[in-house]
Amino acid sequence: MAKFHGFVGFSTSVETAPGVWKEEITEREYTGELIRLAQNHNVSEHLNDDVVLNSRVKIAADQFAFTNLSSIKYAKFDGVSWKVTSIEHERPRLVLTLGGVYNGH
């Protein structure tokens, strides 16, 4: 299996003013294994097809990752931020399934 070394983005809400909240992304560095590498080209209404990376990454998770599991938004792979579409628990590891390109939403 190929090795993985990259960043995982966690979304947290930060109060910028009384009663005003903003989403803030915190990146943390993780290592692990690339379990599966596959990609699809989905036909869309856009000029170019959407690329979906149906890959799975198994990371050696720390307590922060397990505590903020529901806040995981993306994982960076080959310089691109990919949406995390599902998460599996395999303590002490997490298996992240990557989907389309993460665009900040």
- Structural domains counted in the chain: 1
| pLDDT 10s digits, 19-71 | 999 999 999 999 999 997 665 555 556 555 566 767 899 999 999 999 999 99
Strand-pair category, 72-77 with 93-101 = unpaired
| pLDDT 10s digits, 61-76 | 999 999 999 999 999 9
- Write the CATH number for 16: 2.40.10
pLDDT, position 78:
83
Characterise 19 by phi-psi region: left (phi > 0), alpha (psi -120 to 50), beta (else).
left
Domain hosting residue 7, numbered range:
2-101
